[in-house]
Amino acid sequence: MAEWQTRSSQKPVKLKLRVGSTPTFGTTVNFFIYSMISVTDLRAGRRFLLEGSPWQVLEYKHTKMGRGSATIKIKAKNLKNGSVLEKSYINGAKVEPIETENKNLQFLYQDKNDYFFADAKTFEQVSLDREFLAGKEKFLKEGVEVLVLFWEGQPLDIELPNSMVFTVATTDPGVKGNSATNVFKPAVMENGLQVKVPLFVNVGDKIKVDTRSGEYLERAK
């Protein structure tokens, strides 16, 4: 008895097929077929498969045409390489959705170009290289938690907290009594991150940094 599974509704459906007495057919075979979704469901944030690659919708526009017809225009981002495209569909067209998973990972350490994280739930280690991190590695420090998007077991994207607290390791001495926030000096954080900080900031101070821009936000308490 061979057992098959489909994912027509994203849930396994067992189909039993008697294939005779050949021993090799006594094993379980699992495969999945996703149901298609209408392009009218491709609203911002929805993820789908296009030419074998995962994409995420950035913008959605529904244009009504004559006699009840319509055109769906989307702007989407390739979750593997970051490229962006604009694509039009006729009303009634369908695409294949994809299942993705977000995992909370805790940064452990760096080994050359590889950065190692631990799954917060399973403690399984995951390594991400510098190319994948694409500049975000400069904000990493031991113990910080990040959110990583996975598709079919492969990491697609990493999301840092919008702001993080760092300790100033080196900078010029602070100017006593100077509270101006529009005059800056260079500073290096405990993880090597370089940030321009106001003149009153001293070594040992904790500051909050915007990870999207790399800019100083405020002194941290």
pLDDT in tens, 45-103: 999 999 999 999 999 999 887 776 789 999 999 998 889 999 999 988 999 999 999 99
Q: What is the pLDDT of residue 133?
A: 94
Same domain, 108 and 137: yes
Q: Are residues 50 and 66 in the same domain?
A: yes
Residue 15 has φ and ψ, to the nearest 5°, of: -125, 125
Q: Identify whether residues 42 and 72 lie together within a single domain.
A: yes
Global pTM value: 0.71
Same-domain pairing of 42 and 92: yes
pLDDT at res. 156? 92
Among residues 182, 101, 106, the alpha carbon closest in space to that of 141 is found at 106
Say which residue, 211 or 221, is predicted with more confidence. Answer: 211
Q: What angle do CA 140, 100, 114 make, to 5 degrees?
A: 30
Q: What are phi and psi of 115, to 5 degrees?
A: -120, 130
Domain boundaries, position 69: 37-97
Domain identity same for 178 and 189: yes
**Residue 117 shares a structural domain with residue 89:** no
Query: Which amino acid, one-letter code, is at 180?
Result: A
| Alpha carbons 23 and 26: distance in angstroms, whole number | 5
Neighbours of 163 (CB within 10 A): 14
| pLDDT at residue 170, rounded to an integer | 97
Instruction: Count how many domains the chain has.
Output: 4
Q: For residues 155 and 207, state if they share a domain.
A: no
pLDDT digits over 163-207, tens only?
A: 999 999 999 987 766 666 688 999 999 999 999 999 999 999 999
Q: Tell me the C-alpha distance between 181 and 185, whole Å.
A: 11
Q: Are residues 214 and 167 in the same domain?
A: yes
Q: Are residues 91 and 108 in the same domain?
A: no
Percentage, residues of the chain above pLDDT 90: 69
Per-residue pLDDT tens for 151-170? 999 999 999 999 999 999 99
pLDDT in tens, 122-150: 999 999 999 999 999 999 999 999 999 99
Q: What does the block give as tokens for 202?
A: 């001293």
Same domain, 143 and 174: no
- Same domain flag for 144 and 192: no
125 and 169 both lie in a single domain: no
| Size (the chain), residues | 221
CATH code for position 43: 2.30.30.30
Show which of 140, 159, 178 is a domain's final residue: 159
Cα–Cα dist 98/56, whole Å = 10
Supply the CATH number for residue 129's domain.
2.40.50.140
Task: Output the average pLDDT for the chain.
Answer: 84
Beta strands in 11-113 (DSSP E): 13-17, 37-38, 47-50, 53-64, 70-78, 84-90, 94-97, 100-111
